[in-house]
Amino acid sequence: MRIYVTRAIPDAALRRIANALPAARLEVNPEDRTLSAVELREHARGADALVCTLADRIDRALLETLAPRLRVVATFAVGYENIDLEAARTLGVRVTHTPGVLTEATAEIAVALLMACARRIVEGDRLIRAGEFRGWKPLGALGHSVYGATVGVVGAGRIGRRVAETLRRGFGCDLLVYSRSRRPDWEEELGARFVDLDAMLEGADFVTLHCPLVDETRHLIDAAALARMKPTASLVNTSRGAVLDEVALVDALRRGEIAAAGLDVYEREPRLAEGLAELPNAVLLPHIGSATHQARNAMGRLCAEAVIAVLAGREPAHALV
Ligand code: DGY
């Protein structure tokens, strides 16, 4: 049996696979970069199991090349918009992902970005390093308080819930939620109000995105949506870059249509929309939502268990297909 891993993942996960399947040939891409489509196809050829990342495009053409030998694709991510699930289903390839174990890590980054926008933390850091701190002043670097603010949450999944809880319980925020389905537990436990997108955008002091990228959420936050936000509001995105129209965001930030944006994800990663990196009111992180030792080890463990289960003929946990 051959298992191909497209990118180095935590050692413990590789050891777990090697121990459980000692006769299998386990190969890991030795280069610290995403493979091109051609490289991926060549390296994965003849694999019984593929461990991939969100940066690998697992499309029908690739799956047709690798099936029927390929039995499982275990993606080292919770998001799976890079995988053609329908093709996998018709070709009999199982697909698994890693939900649950990166909820806290990603929620932390969303709250950190929200705070950084609210209190202009990165701007302040830059000012100090540029030697421009001339001492305390009454009107210097004023931001917006998070305490008691109204927060708009897009998407009522696990990560959105953790962010909502943190801001409600820790900061007394009011919650406006836009989501496909209404969640009575959010209403009862967090006092959240489920509203339509326009009402959420117009009422929120902070908007934080936690929905998956699907056809209906692509560019959900476009120029018109940004124009509905308060000029004092900040937007945070830790979901997927394409939920937001990044070019429209650059325009909105430039024109002061909104106060700030905190982004961990981008439409064309690792590229950024032109002008974004020059904006002082944009806080930009390199897709590190799940980048804690704890979360990444747990993600590795779930991938390893999925591969082991499928190759042993068992049902994997967290199967998408
Ligand atoms: C995911 O898992 O989908 C995140 O974006 C990266 O951990």
Please write the tens of the pLDDT for every residue from 17-55: 999 999 999 999 999 999 999 999 999 999 999 999 999
**Ligand 1 — pocket residues by CB below 6 A?**
54, 77-79, 102, 289-290
Cα–Cα nearest to 285, from 309, 266, 260, 313: 266
How many percent of the chain have pLDDT more than 70?
Answer: 100
CA atoms within 13 A on the CB side of 153: 34
The rounded distance, in Å, linking the Cα atoms of 83 and 125 is: 39
Catalytic (active site) residue 318: no
In the numeric block, which tokens belong to residue 237?
Answer: 């995105």
Contact 5, 51 (CB under 8 A): yes
Average pLDDT over residues 270-298: 98
Give the number of other CB atoms < 10 A from CB of residue 64: 14
* Domains with residue ranges and CATH for the chain: 2-101+292-311 (3.40.50.720), 103-284 (3.40.50.720)
Whose alpha carbon is nearest atom 2 of ligand 1?
A: 77
The rounded distance, in Å, linking the Cα atoms of 20 and 2 is: 13
Contact 190, 219 (CB under 8 A): no
pLDDT of residue 130: 98
Q: How far is CA 44 from CA 26, 179, 295, in A?
A: 11, 38, 26
pLDDT of residue 306: 98
The rounded distance, in Å, linking the Cα atoms of 145 and 64 is: 53
Question: What's the gap in Å between 301 CA and the centre of ligand 1?
Answer: 15
Q: What ligand 1 atom has the least distance to the C-alpha of 54?
A: 3
Please write the tens of the pLDDT for every residue from 75-112: 999 999 999 999 999 999 999 999 999 999 999 999 99
Question: What's the gap in Å between 289 CA and the centre of ligand 1?
Answer: 7
Contact 109, 238 (CB under 8 A): yes
Q: For the chain, how long is the longest CA-to-CA vector?
A: 69
pLDDT of residue 321: 98
Please write the tens of the pLDDT for every residue from 145-154: 999 999 999 9
Contact 72, 17 (CB under 8 A): no
Catalytic residue among 287, 296, 305, 318: 287
Catalytic (active site) residue 240: yes
Mutate to test the pocket of ligand 1, among 106, 214, 302 (most ligand atoms within 8 A of CB): 106
Please write the tens of the pLDDT for every residue from 137-190: 999 999 999 999 999 999 999 999 999 999 999 999 999 999 999 999 999 999
Question: What's the gap in Å between 73 CA and the centre of ligand 1?
Answer: 16
pLDDT of residue 181: 92
Q: Which amino acid is at 303?
A: C
C-alpha radius of gyration, the chain, whole number: 21
CA atoms within 13 A on the CB side of 270: 6
pLDDT of residue 85: 98
Q: Which amino acid is at 178?
A: Y
The rounded distance, in Å, linking the Cα atoms of 164 and 151 is: 8
Average pLDDT over residues 227-249: 98
Catalytic (active site) residue 43: no
